[in-house]
Amino acid sequence: MTRPYPQVGDAHRGGLADQRGLTGWLPRRLAAAEPRITVIGDVMLDGWWSGTIERLCREAPAPVVEIGDRKFSPGGAANTAINLAALGAKVQLAGLSGHDDASAELFRQLRNAGVDVTRVHQDVGLTTTTKTRISSGGQVLLRVDDVQGEIPAEAQEILAESIPQLLEDQEAVVVCDYGAGALSGAVRSTLLDLLPARSELLLVVDAHQPHAWAGLKPDLATPNAEEAAGMLGVKLPAGSARAAVVVDHHKELLEAAGAEAVVVTLDREGTVLLPKSGGIHRTWARPVKEAQASGAGDTFVAALTLARAASLPLTTSVDFAQAAADVAVHRSGTSVCSTADLSRHLEGFTGAALDADELARQLSRHREEGRRVVLTNGCFDVLHRGHTRYLNQAKQLGDILVVALNSDDSVRRLKGPERPINTITDRAAVIAALSCVDYVTVFDTPTPIPLLQRIRPEIYAKGGDYSPEMLAETAVVERYGGRVAILDYVPEQSTTAVVDRIRNSHTPSHGKSDAATSGTHPARTRPTVQ
């Protein structure tokens, strides 16, 4: 489907369709757009209870947990909704709940966050699904699920009747189907009847069984690894090998989901974007060793929807969503990533460049864990699709990707007195914010040979416009036992061309350049985000 979403940025100022770095101002600009988004699905309440254990109970060899702290958070579709609201969207939530203490707490938190819950139907015959984790000493011991049970047809019909009004004046719809039953019966039939015809809406499906919603022809489907395996009828391998299997089944996943693009979330391995047209795109998570986080996938879906509703390029939207999920997963419980949280996270990459000595110390630790280091270098002045594709390819050559940036003086020597457009501080922050990049450093020498000799990466990666024989670095790398890898050349993508286009543009451009991977569309009549 062709959906005319509002644009963020413009060509005159070097709009986001061209300059894809994630910086601290971006979440604030997206929040200022206040996109109108409806979330419809299974609403839940998550409980996180913690206490101490000092004895076993008499009835069985089971620990007695003396609860000291009780916390509750919106879960399921409600977690997606509250994350969207925290990121600046105007959100209405639709679903079914009981009329009980759990629903009272759920509604209180949602209303306080600014979520419109008038379309969440409370039925006295239902129990609000509540999932309570009980922990001690930072370890989850047990989860107790109080589930909704069979949903009366009358409740489904009430929700179904509200759907046409829900869709009025909206920019995006997220269908969150956790299999709890709210989206069955009349609700399912109504959604399948109405949504495919609403081509102006961005449609995102986040479902345990995405193939069940293929008839919606969504713009995006967001299965996790287990859900993707179910769609394919295969068992995915453990660890990093899952991404390769997902890529191998690219076409089957798209067909099963009926979607324009599928984003498979892989927990610690990040995500894989599989679009119908354009290149496959990877992100890498910044995991924590021991986390008691839940709902980071909902945060990912919320941030992805927000970014696409504001017409960020698809690959940039996935990177943006990965950054939001990284914030959530570093917190305990079912957490929310706000605009301020994400801005601080991205601003934290400012000053992220390490000197050679500190970089060598960090890489020594990774090598002790058996990880291979990849290094590439360049100016990376105005980030564009060629850069991001290149860096993602470099990351897949090993385990740790180091990007060595030319200093500002070095760029001037190479490119002329009017370059760089962005200072080394800005360039380092933008590159460091990419999920595929682990470390950034800066060099001022004519070539990175001194740096290569200092950190001795297992793989030195360069773009396809070079050959090993052209590089003075090749002999150095091969002398210490490393390997030079030449990556694919991305034609018609150059920083100089982007800079010339920005300087020569006098009016905003909403054309289809880079449509295959950016997904940009003509603007609506409402104001663009400046």
The residues that are catalytic are 298
| 69 DSSP 8-state letter | E
| 376 DSSP 8-state letter | E
Question: Which residues, at least 6 apart from 487, have a Cβ–Cβ distance to it below 8 Å?
Answer: 390, 393, 394, 461, 462, 463, 464
CB 473 within 8 A of CB 62: no
Q: Tell which residue, 83, 2, 3, 80, has the closest CA to residue 309.
A: 3
User: What SS3 state is found at 48?
Assistant: strand
Alpha carbons 206 and 197: distance in angstroms, whole number? 19
Q: Determine the distance from the C-alpha atom of residue 344 to the mean position of all C-alpha atoms in its chain, rounded to a whole number.
A: 16
Alpha carbons 117 and 106: distance in angstroms, whole number? 10
User: What SS3 state is found at 273?
Assistant: strand
Distance, first Cα to last Cα, the chain: 27
Report residue 78 as tokens: 């409600």
Question: Could you count the other beta carbons within 10 Å of the beta carbon of residue 497?
Answer: 14
State residue 58 phi and psi, 5-degree precision: -75, -30
